[in-house]
Amino acid sequence: MSTIRVGHLYPDYLNIYADRGNIAVLARRAAWRGHTLEVTPLGMDDPIVPGAHDLYYIGGGQDREQLLVAANLAAKAEPLREAVERGAAVLAVCGGYQLLGRGYRGFHGQDMPGAGLLPLETVAGERRMIGDVLLECELEPGERRTLAGFENHAGRTRLDPGAEPLGRVLAGFGNDGESGFEGCRAGRVIGTYLHGPLLPRNPWLADWLLAQALAHRTGGDPPRLAPLADELEARAHEVAAARARSRGGRF
Amino acid sequence: MRLSLPLAAEVAAARAIAALSRLAGAGGGTTVPGKLLTTLHPGALDRLAARLAAGAGVVSATNGKTTTAAMAAEILRPRFRLAHNAAGANLVSGVASALLAAPGAELGLFEVDEAALPEVLRRVRPRAVCLGNLFRDQLDRYGELELVAERWRDAAAKLPAEARLVVNGDDPQLAAIGRARADAVVFGLDDPRLARPALQHAADSTHCVRCGAPYTYAAAYVGHLGDYRCPACGDARPALALAAREVELHGLEGASFTLAAPEGRRRIELALPGLYNVYNALGAAALARALGASLDEIVAGLARFSPAFGRFERIAVGDRRLLVLLIKNPAGANEAVRTLVEGGAPRLAVIALNDAIADGRDVSWIWDVDFEPLLEGLERLVATGDRAAELALRFRYGGLDERAIEVEPSLARALDRGLALTPPGGELVVLPTYTAMLELQRLVAERGLARPYWERAA
Ligand SMILES: [Zn+2]
């Protein structure tokens, strides 16, 4: 039984769209398997110490809050990159996802630097992309899974050639409303626009992240976690997926 | 160009539609006639509003605008014949409908949707405007908080010089809007005994509107509302022209406070509980005062005021009672929870989550609500509505035992189940989102327990 150490980046600034729901899901699902989740808030004045955390979480904020943290995060890009190279997992949602790319180009010159951890950049678009989303993912070869969530973003995120998206869009806009892809995955780093929040109705992704974090903690391979009943989760997923199919965003 | 003559005919046509729609039982026709009229005659709202001899007062806020406008109406009713959109239809068409329904009105009192405020102000040209609060709400519909604040700032700047702006100074965004007008009236709460030890999770405007540094709070009352100060640039809550002091909260039964104004002090008694209703009463007092009410009229009007469906109204159902509290965004739901728990945490609750446009299609806000204080006493939760399973997950991951949760998407069956679990003489707490509240109201009306909302509006 292990203690999984989570570094929650900028919780005072980026906490919109139910980020604490994602944390609560990680904590309970770890506890139900006998592990402990220890969450440390990492604010503006806290350094990132490679090796100190098994999983980093960075959530979404409104534009104003995001602008406030962007430069701070960019200045911590080196230790964050080192932490990831040493095997730490990362989940970045919405604004946090944009901040992990090379940067965000705003309409009115409000450019934001990024941490450069994911091979992508984001440019502001005119119309916001808002609605339910459904993705098909294959994080492990042969294991196809769906993710249901909600997106609300003005930014168009473009992946570099050869970059791996998190999933294929079955319904909704995704990264830019035209590529047919959503999110980005690089090793144990996941970035996505899906909130809603993401993990309660997609528990398989929560378990995948916990397994990656445990692998970092123990230095071995990601363990197989004991399955849970997840009946409520399946019902919520079903409703959210149906919403995306019937009213997911498209231009 | 339109001549003035056709308006009368179009008004008559729209009134006829309203009567027909009521006869047909189609929801009282609270927006249909206004929609028809504004389509037939785009300038109709401007002209109808211009006929109000005493002008109009407008309230907008994320939370409490229905209650605040209704309180102001109660204060001013003895003095003026009113046009008031009491049924909650608060877009341009709803305001037009309220004017149509009150042909001889002297004063208009309108609650207005946050996004519709700029257009309504432009058309109605009110004598007084009250801005109550700005919380995050339905970001999928309104866009980000900053955007709404920016539109309000523009709309306030365009108000004619003789219009009086009334703002809640405890909200940094609104204080900033007030500061741009020399004669703005600032109201706020002044009772540090009631301050929360820390900002709530869902607190929104916690960073300085001028420089972005985090505010420090001498007192935080509801969400980010409070007595704030920026340590970096000195931006701070402005001086209060109208303040609520010596606030007493009487559990679920009511609240009282001292209203301190330049012309004197009065004790206010409210039949509505909770600190957020103190804010509503304060906003209503400030608005009514700007429209000419005396402090004595304010005291009497607020004492007469009784809550509406979904705002702490209690409804008898046989030998049991329903207590219905609308929840629609984190800040409002937090206050509903806080008030409930202070009155003794319920052992049973029915909570209804819908995701229609009026509820917000994005249900993620339920995770930003501090439901946790309910968990201490809760032995059974009936989760209902279109997103019942999602709501059940919120409580399960919040720490409620899965065996204590029942998922019943049908609101009618959930209501029956809740009543069956309530002992005779007991009270069932129901927390619905907006469209679930309307459905609940319909269910209760069908069973002959309450009058429909359009009949209650008068
Ligand atoms: Zn400042």
Residue A94 annotated to the active site: yes
Q: Are A173 and A250 in contact (CB under 8 A)?
A: yes
Encode pLDDT of B227-247 as tens digits.
999 999 999 999 999 999 999
For position B447, what pLDDT does the model report? 78
- Domain of A29? 3-246
Six-digit token pair at B91? 């877009």
Residue with token string 């919040």: B398
d(CA A98, CA A125): 13
Instruction: Establish if A251 belongs to a structural domain.
Output: no
Give DSSP secondary structure letters for A191-220: EES-BSSTTTT-HHHHHHHHHHHHHHHHSS
Chain A and chain B share a number of CB contacts under 8 A equal to: 93
Could you state, in order of their start, the residue ranges of all structural domains in chain B? 5-304, 311-456
Going from the Cα of B207 to the center of ligand 1, the distance in angstroms, rounded, reads: 8
Grouping H, G, I as helix, E, B as strand and the rest as coil, residue B380 is strand
Going from the Cα of B282 to the center of ligand 1, the distance in angstroms, rounded, reads: 27
The CATH class of the B5-304 domain is alpha beta
Here the CATH number for the domain that contains residue A106 is 3.40.50.880
* φ, ψ at B423 (rounded to 5°): -70, 155
* φ, ψ at A62 (rounded to 5°): -75, 165
Q: At residue A221, does pLDDT exceed 70?
A: yes
Instruction: Establish if A62 belongs to a structural domain.
Output: yes
Say whether B311-456 and B5-304 share the same fold.
no
| A63 and chain B in contact, CB less than 8 A | yes
Six-digit token pair at A27? 């904590």
| A152 and chain B in contact, CB less than 8 A | yes
At position B2, the amino acid (one-letter code) is R
Inter-chain residue contact B396 with A16, CB threshold 8 Å? no
The catalytically annotated residue of A8, A35, A53, A94 is A94
Residues of chain A in contact with residue B386, where contact means CB-CB under 8 angstroms, are 239
Closest residue in A to B394 (Cα) is A21
Inter-chain residue contact A240 with B214, CB threshold 8 Å? no
The pTM for the full model equals 0.78
| B281 and chain A in contact, CB less than 8 A | no
| A193 and chain B in contact, CB less than 8 A | no
d(CA B442, CA B449): 10
| A24 and chain B in contact, CB less than 8 A | yes
| pLDDT level of residue B4 (50, 70, 90 thresholds) | very low
For position B36, what pLDDT does the model report? 72
Q: Which fold has domain B311-456?
A: Protein-Tyrosine Phosphatase; Chain A (3.90.190)
Identify which of A94, A92, A121 has the alpha carbon closest to the alpha carbon of residue A106: A121
Residue A184 annotated to the active site: no
Going from the Cα of B161 to the center of ligand 1, the distance in angstroms, rounded, reads: 29
Encode pLDDT of A162-211 as tens digits.
999 999 999 999 999 999 999 999 999 999 999 879 999 999 999 999 99
What total number of domains does chain A contain? 1
Q: Are A119 and A158 in contact (CB under 8 A)?
A: no
Instruction: State the smallest CA–CA distance between residue B72 and chain A in angstroms.
Output: 33
Query: Mean of the per-residue pLDDT values for chain B?
Result: 88
Encode pLDDT of B352-372 as tens digits.
999 998 898 999 999 989 999
Interface predicted TM-score of the whole assembly (ipTM), two decimals: 0.95
Q: Which residue in the set B146, B355, B366 is minimally distant from A62, CB to CB?
A: B146
Of chain A residues 88-107, which have a CB less than 8 A from chain B? none
CA B339: distance to chain centroid? 16
- CA angle A120/A123/A128 to nearest 5° reads 120
| B404 and chain A in contact, CB less than 8 A | no
CA A52: distance to chain centroid? 20
